[in-house]
Amino acid sequence: MTTQQLLSMTPKLKARMKPWNNQWATVWLSTEPADFDAAEAAISECYCFLGLDPPKRFVRVGSPLVCAVAGSIASGLLRGDEIDRMADEVLNQTLGDSIRGAVERAVGSATGSAPGRTAPTVADRRLDFAIDRAIRGTVDSAIRRAVDYAANETVSNAVNRTFDRAVGRAVHETIEHTVGDAARGILSNWHHYMGGQFNALWHAHSGFFREVCGLDLPADLWARARAYDRAQASCGSWYPHADFCIISDRMLGCSRNQRGRLHGEHGPALQWRDGWSIYAIEGVRVPDNVVLTPEEQTIEEIDGESNEEVRRVRIERYGWLRYIERSGATVADTRFNEIDRQRECLMQLKDGTRRLVVSDPSTARIYVLGVPREIQTCEQAQAFLNHGLRIIHRS
């Protein structure tokens, strides 16, 4: 099929979108162990397409965190960088032994020096991340030039509806947070890992044109894309280098709510076989204690939280009534609601936000409901909550 024939999607092609996308959704959320042998074979094929010898060493690790951090450190050592103080702090706080082991396997035998000491630069092989750019760039740019925008848009919309981007984004941003200020020097290239299963969206998109539409592209572009597909689908992530490649296992578990948001009520929302975990409540990533021991949080921890969404979840897990009682909130107004036969109290928190505390006589439950800062009375709060009416200040 030529590019011109893809100017519009036929009903037959549209009918095949969902089954095709579901195949890649399975890859996206797979918790099966990685097929490391298949990944190594496909990655070697990708290297060959770029005119490179396959990596001298493949290193298998348990999570994308170890993959990204160890890959950056190993490539840095091979450039002649040293592990600085900030990088050493990262190693000491999160899966340090696993990262050190991966670095040692990646560069130890090649340099003859122990990880953590200066290693000689790899002369004439400064391709550290050209592999990443070339694989992505060659395939992606060709497809973008070949496929008409209208057809492209149709498939993109279908794929976006099928896939939940939250998982891959959570992994990337959590690694970024873990590296933090150390993302300079030897850890500056942590983000050059390949997304593996978390790049399923792009592969579903491009593969639809190749396998379902039968789009014809010149030379060996589709052969390259198929090798890239197999590499990504076989593992959790991978970090390519001219001399080594670190490959991560897939997830061990993934917990989401009905809307597809990451959510673990009593444990990790995402977890890997080496112990790395990501905690989230209703799509908001939070520290582990917010999920595991929410009642042990301190008022200082909660009030010191700079992210408003995380702070809200912290309070909800701690308990709104308990927080109001212990955080120094003040009473703005009280009344007995004659219509609903319930007691109400409008509270102002230390940050200026306001909450209406309601005692439900039918269930004996107490509710703490958010209202705008400009609310002055319990009556106004009820009007806002029940009807969304414009607030009228009475004299």
**Least confident residue range of 10-24, 36-50, 263-277, 328-342:** 10-24
The pLDDT of residue 235 is 96
Instruction: State pLDDT tens for residues 183-199.
Output: 677 888 888 889 899 88
DSSP string, 337-392: ETTTTEEEEEEE-TTS-EEEEEE-TTT--EEEEEE-TT--SHHHHHHHHHH-PPP-
Residue 110 has which token pair?
A: 């090649």
Q: Are residues 199 and 267 in the same domain?
A: no
Q: Are residues 335 and 293 in the same domain?
A: no
The pLDDT of residue 117 is 32
Q: Are residues 382 and 284 in the same domain?
A: no
Q: Are residues 356 and 379 in the same domain?
A: yes
**Least confident residue range of 83-87, 139-143, 224-228, 332-336:** 139-143
Instruction: State pLDDT tens for residues 95-128.
Output: 889 999 999 999 875 544 444 332 222 322 333 3
CA distance 123 to 120: 9
The pLDDT of residue 220 is 80
Mean predicted confidence (pLDDT) in 346-352: 93
Q: Is the pLDDT of residue 309 over 90?
A: yes
**Would 364 be classed as within a structural domain?**
yes
Inter-residue contact 186 to 71 (CB < 8 Å) = no
Q: Is the pLDDT of residue 57 over 50?
A: yes
Site of tokens 């044109």: 209
Of 58 and 158, the structure prediction assigns the larger pLDDT to 58
Q: Are residues 54 and 24 in the same domain?
A: yes
Q: How many helices (H) and strands (E) does the chain have?
A: 15, 12
The pLDDT of residue 340 is 85
Q: Is the pLDDT of residue 223 over 80?
A: yes
CA distance 135 to 46: 7
Q: Are residues 109 and 199 in the same domain?
A: yes
**Would 393 be classed as within a structural domain?**
no
Say if strands 237-240 and 57-61 run parallel, antiparallel, or are unpaired: unpaired
**Would 322 be classed as within a structural domain?**
no
The pLDDT of residue 175 is 87
**Least confident residue range of 133-147, 154-168, 191-205:** 133-147
Instruction: State pLDDT tens for residues 235-294.
Output: 999 999 988 999 999 999 999 888 878 999 999 999 999 999 999 999 999 999 999 999
**Would 318 be classed as within a structural domain?**
no
**Would 53 be classed as within a structural domain?**
yes
Q: Are residues 132 and 203 in the same domain?
A: yes
CA dihedral for 221, 224, 229, 230, sign (positive or negative): positive
**Would 319 be classed as within a structural domain?**
no
Q: What is the mean pLDDT of the chain?
A: 81
Q: Is the pLDDT of residue 207 over 70?
A: yes
Q: Is the pLDDT of residue 133 over 60?
A: no
CA distance 146 to 210: 11
Domain that holds residue 349: 327-387
**Would 309 be classed as within a structural domain?**
no
DSSP 3-state of 279? coil
The pLDDT of residue 1 is 53
CA distance 367 to 103: 52
Name the domain boundary from 287, 303, 319: 303
The pLDDT of residue 159 is 53
Q: Are residues 38 and 155 in the same domain?
A: yes
The pLDDT of residue 357 is 95
Q: Are residues 244 and 258 in the same domain?
A: no
Residue 276, number of CB atoms within 10 A of its CB:
24
Mean predicted confidence (pLDDT) in 200-206: 78
Cα atoms in the Cβ-side hemisphere of radius 13 Å centred on 321:
9
The kind and range of the H/E element at 321 are helix 320-326
Helices (H), 29-84: 36-49, 64-79
State how many domains the chain has.
3
The pLDDT of residue 112 is 43
Instruction: State pLDDT tens for residues 236-251.
Output: 999 999 889 999 999 9
Q: Is the pLDDT of residue 363 over 70?
A: yes
Residue 139, number of CB atoms within 10 A of its CB:
24
Local confidence band at 296 (pLDDT 50, 70, 90 cut-offs):
very high
**Would 345 be classed as within a structural domain?**
yes
Local confidence band at 164 (pLDDT 50, 70, 90 cut-offs):
low
CA distance 183 to 87: 8
Q: Are residues 186 and 236 in the same domain?
A: yes
The pLDDT of residue 111 is 47
The pLDDT of residue 119 is 27
Local confidence band at 162 (pLDDT 50, 70, 90 cut-offs):
low
Local confidence band at 329 (pLDDT 50, 70, 90 cut-offs):
very high
Q: Are residues 238 and 205 in the same domain?
A: yes
Q: Are residues 78 and 181 in the same domain?
A: yes
Mean predicted confidence (pLDDT) in 138-142: 51
